[in-house]
Structure 1
Amino acid sequence: MSIDKKAAGAVSDDLVTEGAFALYRAENAHRVSEFRKSDNADAAIAADFDAYRIRYLRKFRDFTESLSEQGLTVTRSA
């Protein structure tokens, strides 16, 4: 069975983006809780994350690289 590298890359990118979003939510819990009070909370949170997307993508990649140097990996649970 052959794995399509483009598809594998997309899955990896999705994992990084979702990891970056989780990191954003963890570091900005106070902002997220304020956004949750609005009528369109999910859109407000997504818009705020988009403003900081590059920063959190870089932070998450740095985090996963640090783990990798110690022989650990980040994977998606089933």
Structure 2
Amino acid sequence: MGRRAGREWGRRKDLGRATFALALGAASLGALAVGGVAIAALAIRKLAVKEARVGTLEIDELHVRSARGLPPPPA
């Protein structure tokens, strides 16, 4: 009983280590995925703000030109 129980305990110990390693790997991959999504969201937001500023400048230019009686700029 002594040797056999020892081998079974060793297998259980190895199985526990493997399970822990898999869980740790899955958690790491999850953290990387969340980080990637956050970086992508920031990049999209930055691009959207940049586009909005360009659009605002174009609208402001049209207002100024129309206030001065000038035609809109050529497309």
TM-score band (shorter)? 0.3 to 0.5
TM-score calculated relative to the size of structure 2: 0.39
Bigger RCO of structures 1 and 2 (CA < 8 A, at least 6 apart) = 1
Higher helix share: 2
TM-score w.r.t. structure 1 length? 0.38
- Choose 1 or 2 for highest CA Rg: 2
